[in-house]
Amino acid sequence: MSSPCRRSVSLAVLAVLALAACDREEREPRGAPVGESGPQAIAQGSLYAGEPSPPDPRRQEYEGNAYHLAQGKQLYVWFNCNGCHSNGGGDIGPPLMDDTWIYGDSLENIFATIVQGRPNGMPSFRNKIPETQIWEIAAYVRSMSGQTPTAASPGRNDSLNAKPAEQRAPKAEPKQSNPGGPQVEGRQ
């Protein structure tokens, strides 16, 4: 019954187990790895038939994590988001630090806006930024108006200190948020 083949298999299994036993305790200081897939098609309004769908589980993962928010802050500059939105006060594009959201205020809405672009000038970054990094940028955008936990929001600025760091941003309760498009006067 004990074939050489089976013995070698069990040896291999033992070896694997032994190796595994040598592993250090696993920690995830930078957050758990997250699957690379965009959100379910986002709703175009804020009215739902029945109950609204539960939020994307990635919300918690990204918005509550200081590392992801800090990465997002850096990527926001590296991908030239600041070229149009400044440090949240806006320029060619709308401000991101206030309570007005043209295409929706949720993390999924912001993710979709970055990936898809928007008709009045927001460029599409589809296939130009890794999805994980888009989630990080989107989470950082939420931190600009105090939508993320204070403990996780960035606590300092790297450059000209244009405004207090996100950690000190007062929470601006989103108003008129309409994922489907520009219903906001004066905003594109």
Partner 1 sequence: MDVTRVCRTGAVFAMTMALLAAAPALAQDTAPTKAVPAPAASPPDDGAWAMPAKNYASTRYSELDEINAGTVRDLQVAFTFSTGVDRGQEAAPLVVGNTMYIVTPYPNRLFALDLTQPGAPVTWTFEPKPAASAQGVACCDFINRGVAFADGRVFMNTLDGQTIAVEAGTGREVWRTKLGDINKGETITMAPLVVKGKVLVGNSGGEFGVRGWLTALDAGTGKIAWKAYNTGPDSDVLIGPDYKPFYDKEKGKDLGVTTWPPNAWEIGGGTVWGWIAYDPELDLIYHGTANPGPWNPEQRPGDNKWTGGIFARNPDTGQARWFYQVVPHDLYDHDAINELILLDMPVNGTMRKTVVRPERNGYIYVLDRATGEVLSADPYAYINSSTGVDLKTGILAMVEAKAPKMGKVVRDICPTAPGSKDWNPSSFSPRTGLLYIPHMNLCMDWQSAEANYIAGTPYVGAEVRMFAGPGGHRGELSAWDPVKRAKAWSVKEDFPLWSGTLSTAGDLVFYGTMEGWFKALDARTGEELWRFKTGSGIIGQPIAYRGPDGREYVAVLSGVGGWAGAVVVGNLDPRDATAAKGFVNAVADLKDKTTKGGTLYVFALPSKR
188 SS3 class:
coil
Select from 71, 87, 147, 148 the one that contacts partner 1 (CB under 8 A): 87
**DSSP character at residue 168:** G
Q: Does residue 100 interact with partner 1 by CB under 8 A?
A: yes
Q: Does residue 92 interact with partner 1 by CB under 8 A?
A: yes
Contact 160, 25 (CB under 8 A): no
Q: Smaller CB distance to partner 1: residue 14 or 77?
A: 77
Select from 13, 52, 78, 150 the one that contacts partner 1 (CB under 8 A): 78
Give the number of other Cβ atoms within 10 Å of residue 20's Cβ: 8
Q: Does residue 123 interact with partner 1 by CB under 8 A?
A: yes
Select from 8, 10, 60, 120 the one that contacts partner 1 (CB under 8 A): 120
Site string for partner 1, 18-57 (x = CB under 8 A): ----------------------------------------
107 vs 61: CA distance, rounded Å: 11
Q: φ, ψ for residue 25 (rounded to 5)?
A: -60, 135
Q: Nearest approach, Cβ of 9 to partner 1 (angstroms)? A: 53
Q: Does residue 83 interact with partner 1 by CB under 8 A?
A: yes
DSSP-assigned letters across all residues of 127-147: TTS-HHHHHHHHHHHHHTTT-
Write the CA distances from 124 to 43, 76, 111, 113, 119, integer angstroms. Answer: 19, 15, 11, 8, 10
Site residues for partner 1, window 147-186 (CB under 8 A)? Answer: 159-160, 162-163, 186
Chain residues in the site for partner 1 (CB under 8 A):
77-80, 83-84, 86-95, 97-98, 100, 117, 119-123, 128, 159-160, 162-163, 186-188
